[in-house]
């Protein structure tokens, strides 16, 4: 967390140094992508569903204020307390205030990328409030004091051996026992106790329904339900883009979400919370934290359609070969690379360049976000704003000058090719990143232009 941020390319090259692990990471996530393909192909109406989801989200974003207020009114009528937080700090303060009001010391939390974005765990820990992540993957990374490397599969960068070592260190499991059933049971024993003894349950929100004032949380482990039902206080945290107009729209999103995420037809639990049970308090914290800025950027507005399925992570050949931590942002992968510069351009200027612009992300996206086009657009903004540095700009200006003038182009090309054949060491050296692991093309005697003049224009 407090480590100096390394540029994506540098972190990626470190990730790739362990070739065997990197290959395993790539293949594991490709397996998930392939499962997603299979699940999508079981529905002939798949592309229609994506279109519907995209349109519902676009519509919602165009009338966001109306739907948020409708949601607030309905939720309040249901007995839920609604809070508005303008930024991460305010979000964390509101939650701390609720916890303190109840003299609570111990919190269980199910998966919420928003609380990662707001760095809630650190905030609470600094105030002597113990918070335990109850999603198994998140629990593992929490023990290791790491950030999730993937928004759906938080510990996907770890192998069984790593989990075994982590649990041996923190849960006193048998040294070297990497049996997944054994390890899961060990975590379950600890977590069950936490569920029962905690004072407050925090959850994320997958969908907030304006029409009903209720929220839906999707998990495979049922940990959100366990937390909420075992505790007197439930705090649900959501970015304001989680809103959908009507309950019937869930039939579109729930069919897309799990298929896109893991290839399952639906998550094991799709839990609907509409009101606190008797004797319970229920709070919903609606967070902005830069989202209004993104909403105001026309080119990037549609990034707020994201339902956090991570299909773009799994399909991204760069993500699979660089790992989530190389993106130094709570949301990694292609979607993270278009969300992060909105939060901090300087810190995240490298991320839109961590892509070949292959466009696979855009085409797996269940809500049809044009991710690769937004990556391209961010590049333009970041370079215009000067985040590329003077050297890069100078080299691009030189390139632009060469290509603006055909005489200069022909001359530079000819000279370049001559130099390459006379002194191959000029380009075939360790300072040329192309040459490090690839050979240069053989320079031909003449360019096509020269050939054409000789053979066709004589």
Partner 1 sequence: MKVGLFIPCYVDQFYPQVAIATLQLLEKFGCTVEFPLNQTCCGQPMANAGFAYLTKGCDNNFIKNFTGYEYIVCPSGSCVLHVKEHLHGDNEPASAAVRNNVYELTEFLTDVLKVETINASFPHRVGMHTSCHGQRMLHLSSMSEKVEKPFSKAEQLLSHVKGLELLKTKRVDECCGFGGTFCVTEEAVSVSMGQDRVDEHLDNNIEYIVGGDMSCLMHLEGILKRKKSSVKVKHIAEILNAQ
The residues in 366-385 that bind partner 1, with binding defined as CB under 8 A, are 376, 379-380, 382-384
Interaction of residue 322 with partner 1, rule CB under 8 A? yes
At its nearest, how many Å lie between partner 1 and the CB of residue 384? 6
Interaction of residue 9 with partner 1, rule CB under 8 A? yes
Cα 414 to chain centroid distance, Å, stands at 46
Q: What are phi and psi of 109, to 5 degrees?
A: -130, 130
Interaction of residue 448 with partner 1, rule CB under 8 A? yes
List residues bridging with 235 in a β-sheet. Answer: 202, 283
Could you tell me which stretch among 181-189, 233-241, 267-275, 444-452 binds partner 1 (CB under 8 A)? Answer: 444-452
Could you tell me which stretch among 93-101, 136-144, 198-206, 450-458 binds partner 1 (CB under 8 A)? Answer: 450-458
Options 416, 419, 426, 454; binder of partner 1; rule CB under 8 A: 416
Interaction of residue 389 with partner 1, rule CB under 8 A? no
**In angstroms, rounded to a whole number, what is the distance separating the alpha carbons of residues 202 and 195?**
11
CB 304 within 8 A of CB 372: no
Name the residue nearer to partner 1 (CB basis): 40 or 332: 40
Options 125, 189, 452, 454; binder of partner 1; rule CB under 8 A: 452
At its nearest, how many Å lie between partner 1 and the CB of residue 350? 9
Name the residue nearer to partner 1 (CB basis): 267 or 362: 362
**In angstroms, rounded to a whole number, what is the distance separating the alpha carbons of residues 10 and 310?**
23
Interaction of residue 82 with partner 1, rule CB under 8 A? no
At its nearest, how many Å lie between partner 1 and the CB of residue 367? 14
Name the residue nearer to partner 1 (CB basis): 63 or 392: 392
Name the residue nearer to partner 1 (CB basis): 297 or 417: 417
Name the residue nearer to partner 1 (CB basis): 233 or 375: 375
Say how many residues touch partner 1, by CB under 8 A. Answer: 76
Name the residue nearer to partner 1 (CB basis): 18 or 66: 18
Options 184, 359, 424, 427; binder of partner 1; rule CB under 8 A: 359
At its nearest, how many Å lie between partner 1 and the CB of residue 301? 19
At its nearest, how many Å lie between partner 1 and the CB of residue 392? 8
At its nearest, how many Å lie between partner 1 and the CB of residue 177? 33
List residues bridging with 30 in a β-sheet. Answer: none
Six-digit token string for 33:
């992508």
* Listed residue (381, 385, 323) closest to 354, CA to CA: 323
Q: Which of residues 133-192 bind partner 1 (CB under 8 A)?
A: none
Options 59, 222, 417, 427; binder of partner 1; rule CB under 8 A: 417
Interaction of residue 457 with partner 1, rule CB under 8 A? yes
Name the residue nearer to partner 1 (CB basis): 356 or 429: 356
Interaction of residue 419 with partner 1, rule CB under 8 A? no
Could you tell me which stretch among 129-137, 155-163, 293-301, 437-445 binds partner 1 (CB under 8 A)? Answer: 437-445
Interaction of residue 393 with partner 1, rule CB under 8 A? yes
Six-digit token string for 241:
């883009």
Could you tell me which stretch among 65-73, 169-177, 248-256, 357-365 binds partner 1 (CB under 8 A)? Answer: 357-365
Q: Which of residues 299-318 bind partner 1 (CB under 8 A)?
A: 315, 317-318
Q: Which of residues 16-55 bind partner 1 (CB under 8 A)?
A: 16, 22, 26, 30, 37, 40-41, 43-44, 46-47
């Amino acid at each position: 967390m407090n480590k100096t941020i390394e540029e994506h390319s540098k972190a990626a090259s470190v990730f790739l140094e362990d070739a065997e692990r990197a290959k395993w990471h790539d293949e594991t996530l490709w397996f998930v992508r392939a499962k997603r393909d299979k699940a999508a192909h079981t529905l002939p109406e798949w592309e229609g569903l994506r279109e519907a989801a995209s349109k519902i989200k676009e519509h919602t974003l165009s009338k966001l204020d109306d739907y948020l207020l409708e949601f607030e009114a309905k939720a309040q009528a249901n007995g839920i307390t609604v809070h508005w937080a303008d930024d991460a700090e305010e979000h964390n303060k509101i939650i701390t205030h609720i916890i303190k009001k109840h003299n609570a010391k111990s919190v269980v939390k199910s998966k919420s990328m928003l609380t990662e974005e707001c760095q809630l765990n650190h905030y609470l820990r600094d105030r002597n409030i113990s918070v335990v992540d109850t999603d198994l993957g998140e629990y593992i990374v929490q023990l290791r004091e790491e950030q999730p490397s993937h928004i759906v599969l938080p510990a996907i960068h770890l192998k069984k051996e790593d989990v075994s070592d982590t649990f041996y260190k923190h849960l006193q499991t048998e040294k070297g026992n990497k049996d997944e059933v054994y390890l899961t049971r060990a975590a379950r024993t600890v977590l069950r106790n936490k569920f029962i003894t905690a004072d407050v349950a925090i959850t994320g929100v997958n969908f907030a329904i304006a029409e009903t004032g209720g929220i839906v949380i999707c998990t495979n482990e049922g940990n959100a339900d366990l937390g909420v039902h075992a505790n007197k206080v439930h705090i649900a945290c959501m970015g304001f883009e989680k809103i959908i107009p009507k309950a019937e729209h869930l039939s579109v999103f729930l069919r897309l979400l799990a298929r896109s995420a893991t290839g399952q037809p639906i998550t094991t639990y799709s839990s609907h919370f509409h009101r606190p049970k008797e004797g319970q308090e229920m709070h919903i914290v609606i967070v902005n934290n830069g989202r209004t800025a993104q909403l105001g950027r026309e080119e990037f507005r549609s990034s707020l359609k994201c339902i956090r399925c991570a299909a773009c992570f799994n399909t991204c050949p760069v993500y699979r070969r660089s790992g989530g931590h190389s993106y130094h942002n709570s949301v990694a992968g292609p979607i993270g690379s278009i969300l992060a510069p909105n939060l901090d351009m300087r810190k995240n200027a490298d991320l839109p360049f961590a892509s070949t612009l292959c466009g696979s992300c855009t085409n797996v996206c269940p809500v049809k976000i044009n991710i690769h086009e937004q990556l391209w657009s961010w590049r333009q903004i970041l370079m215009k704003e000067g985040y590329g540095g003077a050297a890069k700009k100078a080299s691009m200006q030189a390139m632009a000058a060469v290509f603006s003038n055909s005489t200069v182009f022909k001359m530079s090309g000819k000279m370049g090719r001559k130099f390459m054949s006379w002194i191959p060491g000029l380009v075939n050296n360790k300072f040329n990143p192309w040459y490090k692991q690839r050979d240069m093309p053989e320079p031909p005697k003449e360019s096509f232009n020269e050939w054409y003049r000789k053979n066709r224009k004589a």
